[in-house]
Amino acid sequence: MTMCGTENPTSNNKTSCVSPANGNGMTLPSFPSDHVLNLEQGDPTVFESYWRKMGDKCTMVISGSELMSYISDFTSVCWFLEPALEAAVRRFHRTVGNAVVDGDRHIVVGTGSTQLYQAALYALTSPGRSEPVSVVSAAPYYSSYPDETDYLCSALYKWTGDAYAFNKTRHGPYIEVVNTPNNPDGTLREAVVKNRSDQGKLIHDLAYYWPQYTPITRPADHDIMYFTFSKSTGHAGSRIGWAIVKDREVARKMSKFVELSSLGVSKDSQQRAAKIMGVICDGYENCKSTDNSELFFDHCHQIMGNRWERLRKVVEQSEVFSLPNYPKKYCIFFGDSVEPYPAFAWMEAEEDVDTEKVLRGQIKVQGRTGRRFGVDQRYVRISMLSREDVFNHFLERLSTITSVTNGH
Amino acid sequence: MTMCGTENPTSNNKTSCVSPANGNGMTLPSFPSDHVLNLEQGDPTVFESYWRKMGDKCTMVISGSELMSYISDFTSVCWFLEPALEAAVRRFHRTVGNAVVDGDRHIVVGTGSTQLYQAALYALTSPGRSEPVSVVSAAPYYSSYPDETDYLCSALYKWTGDAYAFNKTRHGPYIEVVNTPNNPDGTLREAVVKNRSDQGKLIHDLAYYWPQYTPITRPADHDIMYFTFSKSTGHAGSRIGWAIVKDREVARKMSKFVELSSLGVSKDSQQRAAKIMGVICDGYENCKSTDNSELFFDHCHQIMGNRWERLRKVVEQSEVFSLPNYPKKYCIFFGDSVEPYPAFAWMEAEEDVDTEKVLRGQIKVQGRTGRRFGVDQRYVRISMLSREDVFNHFLERLSTITSVTNGH
């Protein structure tokens, strides 16, 4: 059996990947029914078609002698942050209205938000405590938090699991990660640990707080919040994330982490991110003369809406799964009341089964089990961000399921 | 006072950097004498002039829709390694002859060699030991090893310092990092901990094992060895390193580390590195028709030789410092007996003074003290890789020193 779409980077079972996974813009062959459709990761290849349509507008050209130095700007708290990216990030957020970047806000660039999550843990802790600081997030939580927190067995911090459980027992100093909209379930989140004191600190993971996924209700304004190029524009391969940080000393420590971890962040990708963000912003600034469907967030919101509509139809007809319902909210970006279209479908089986296994067994679709997110195996997370043909095959196969106990 | 050249990323004293630090290829203004020349880091901007001369040959063009996925090749042990980079790395080493890449050798890409050093520590240790594994390197050792080992207070491994001291006392399981040619002192190194058993493992840091710095005496063939784009071609801003690993399971664990640390490595920079390596290899493959001074390693070897010759002359005349002498060796790449021209000058004062302070105080030159490398303050490390004008000013200022106790 071969695996189509993308395969699980965190698992060890390597299988070959057929040509549909190559994003070369060619017409893709149809998938044989025994090919596994991989919808386990949130690989954002759905947005490739938009960028292909943009043609040369975003083409990045770097000569052999450019961007060679380690250093970008020594006057900055984050000395390896390209000034062009810093300016583009601030402009991007001003255009979208999803984060406060004016006033005393520091930008720290990271090799994806993965590195920034760890930079934030490092910045909020100090050596010399008798116990590591607890790191918690409300279940269902992003499945990579536990491993990314614990893989080096740090004495600084330690994954402690569901923030709701922590709230009840109170274990001393902690960091709560608030992921909103939440991966995997798309809900809007606030901190859940109550009676927070000096003992508790917050990190806001806003990877999905972009108009294609969720109504932008206000500019986020938290102490430490981070975003990523992967989920905002779909450029996961560039590994660019950025944090917006209020406290200068926290920003300095986060930068120090990135320095110790990788001596900075690819300047090639920083410049590419700056260029692409700029093209999106240019589009909205000139939007009177532009067909709205050519504007990035408008276009992608339509794609996501279309996928969600089709998915809901199939799920309703099958009567064996359910999906969360998300209330419409007023979006300050679109200037209208809009429905959330999360990056993942958080599917629950109506019966008590291992839904990941059911999908893999019955229709050769690879999702990620709820257990990885700290909840029940009845849940499975399915990526909504695959290429169109993979998504279409997924719906086609899903529509054939009439019972979750069939064939088991 | 302002700082010219580059400033220390690891220190907190931020000072402004005047225009000579911008690598824009313009004629640079001369430096006022109160401007600090920063020769503390090994920022390899010396090679910019070569790449400018190459014009468009290495220009990288990336359209907006390319390289968007997280994934490069799921059939590879290192799923985020671009196949083009893997092929380029193998070809590069075959061209230079400095490392064995054929047979069963796995390539793991990292965000610079900084990340690969940590990936190797992770791969060679396991949770659940009562004590962290000791990490040692013979003094003078690279000044970043201690911090990069200890910043997360890992229970897996712990910096234990000078490998010579470890050898005498024997503390149980250890990892020895062999940096050859060695940063800071340019010496050729072998492991120094004796009676190695199953208790001891080796990591070879070969960042400087390239023909412009040292005679290539044989293809290196160690269990884990890593190289970096920064020091091989001078492209530090791209943050690309690669490890060559014999054992598949070690390569898999190193890849897992990079996955957990940053979910892969910039594809933009991987492709750029592949392109630039390819241009160098093309040059040598077609070298009968090419003027040798246009070939990368030949050209850069000449530049380094010229700098070292001029530096030695100034140091000899001053009579207050000394430099190591490096024996000529037969270089299989140049097919001739050649002198090493290390990336750093490891200067020792003839009297017992803090040489870093002397240089900073008397001539406004920032080096890095021997103390940071685990040895005496009489030593200072000076980068030989700055832009030409900075190096020229350095020599001019150095020639004015007649006594290390003057002015103190």
Which site among B3, B71, B131, B226 would you substitute to test the A interface, given the most A Cβ atoms closer than 10 Å to its Cβ?
Answer: B71
Instruction: Give pLDDT tens digits for A312-337.
Output: 999 999 889 999 999 999 999 999 99
Q: What are phi and psi of B238, to 5 degrees?
A: -85, -15
Whether B314 contacts chain A with CB within 8 A: no
The H-or-E segment that residue B179 falls in is strand B174-179
* Owner of token pair 């927190």: A149
Q: Are residues A142 and A251 in the same domain?
A: yes
Q: Is A407 part of any domain?
A: no
* Stated pTM of the model: 0.93
Among the candidates A284, A314, A344, a domain finishes at A284
Of A68, A235, A265, the CB nearest to B68: A235
Whether B13 contacts chain A with CB within 8 A: no
Instruction: Give pLDDT tens digits for B9-36.
Output: 444 333 333 333 333 333 445 678 889 9
Instruction: Give pLDDT tens digits for B71-111.
Output: 999 899 999 999 999 999 999 999 999 999 999 999 999 99
**Distances A325 to A186, A306, A328, A339, A347 between C-alpha atoms, Å:** 10, 16, 10, 10, 11
B111 vs B263: CA distance, rounded Å: 11
Q: Are residues A231 and A380 in the same domain?
A: no
Q: Are residues A280 and A298 in the same domain?
A: no
Q: Do B267 and A151 touch (CB under 8 A)?
A: no
Share of residues in chain B with pLDDT > 90 (%): 84
Buried b (16+ CB within 10 A) or exposed e, B57-77: ebebebbbbbbbbbbbbbebb
- Comparing A295 with A22, the larger pLDDT belongs to A295
Q: Are residues A221 and A324 in the same domain?
A: no
Instruction: Give pLDDT tens digits for B297-341.
Output: 999 999 999 999 999 999 999 889 999 999 999 999 999 999 999
Q: Is B296 exposed, middle or buried (0-12, 13-18, 19+ CB in 10 A)?
A: buried
Q: Are residues A145 and A206 in the same domain?
A: yes
- Count residue pairs from A and B with Cβ separation < 8 A: 277
At residue B123 the predicted structure's pLDDT band, cuts being 50, 70 and 90, is very high
Q: Are residues A83 and A212 in the same domain?
A: yes
- For residue A216 the two structure tokens come to 């932008």
Q: Is B352 exposed, middle or buried (0-12, 13-18, 19+ CB in 10 A)?
A: exposed
Q: Do A62 and B60 touch (CB under 8 A)?
A: yes
Q: Are residues B275 and B382 in the same domain?
A: no
**Mean pLDDT, range A128-147, rounded to an integer:** 96
Q: Is A3 part of any domain?
A: no
Q: Are residues B47 and B186 in the same domain?
A: no
Q: What are phi and psi of B37, to 5 degrees?
A: -90, 120
Of B12, B64, B79, the CB nearest to A9: B79
A143-152, A221-230, B14-23, B363-372: which range is least confident on average? B14-23
Candidates A110, A339, A120; CA nearest to A212 is A339
Q: Do A16 and B75 touch (CB under 8 A)?
A: yes
B353 vs B81: CA distance, rounded Å: 48
Q: Are residues B262 and B139 in the same domain?
A: yes
Q: Which residue of A has its CA nearest to B76?
A: A14
Q: Is A200 exposed, middle or buried (0-12, 13-18, 19+ CB in 10 A)?
A: buried
Candidates B143, B144, B142, B120; CA nearest to B133 is B120
Among the candidates B233, B256, B284, a domain finishes at B284
Whether B9 contacts chain A with CB within 8 A: yes
Among the candidates B266, B284, B302, a domain finishes at B284
Q: Do A237 and B266 touch (CB under 8 A)?
A: yes
Give residue B197's pLDDT. Answer: 67
Whether B22 contacts chain A with CB within 8 A: no
Q: Is A62 part of any domain?
A: no
Q: Are residues B332 and B268 in the same domain?
A: no
Give residue A11's pLDDT. Answer: 43
Q: Is A159 part of any domain?
A: yes
Whether B301 contacts chain A with CB within 8 A: no
Q: Do A263 and B114 touch (CB under 8 A)?
A: yes
- pLDDT > 70? residue B3: no
Of A12, A68, A127, the CB nearest to B23: A68
Whether B229 contacts chain A with CB within 8 A: no
Q: Is A130 exposed, middle or buried (0-12, 13-18, 19+ CB in 10 A)?
A: exposed
- Comparing A168 with A228, the larger pLDDT belongs to A228
Domain of residue A307, residue span = 37-53+293-399
Q: Is B25 part of any domain?
A: no
Q: Do A259 and B10 touch (CB under 8 A)?
A: yes
Q: What CATH number is attached to the domain comprising A42? A: 3.90.1150.10
Q: Are residues A82 and A151 in the same domain?
A: yes
Q: Is A263 part of any domain?
A: yes
Q: Do A265 and B239 touch (CB under 8 A)?
A: yes
Instruction: Give pLDDT tens digits for A259-292.
Output: 999 999 999 999 999 999 999 999 999 987 667 8
Q: Is A86 exposed, middle or buried (0-12, 13-18, 19+ CB in 10 A)?
A: buried
DSSP A363: H
* Owner of token pair 């320095």: A259
Q: Is A60 part of any domain?
A: no
Nearest-Cα distance to chain B for A73, in Å, is: 8
**Mean pLDDT, range B363-386, rounded to an integer:** 98
Q: Is A313 part of any domain?
A: yes
Q: What CATH number is attached to the domain comprising B238? A: 3.40.640.10
Q: Are residues B316 and B263 in the same domain?
A: no
Q: How many separate domains does chain A show? A: 2
Chain B, 102 to 131: residues with Cβ < 8 Å from chain A are 110-112, 114-115, 118, 122, 127
Share of residues in chain A with pLDDT > 70 (%): 90
Q: Do A234 and B70 touch (CB under 8 A)?
A: no
Q: Is the peptide bond before A219 cis (omega within 30 degrees of 0)?
A: no
Share of residues in chain A with pLDDT > 90 (%): 84
Chain A, 331 to 390: residues with Cβ < 8 Å from chain B are none
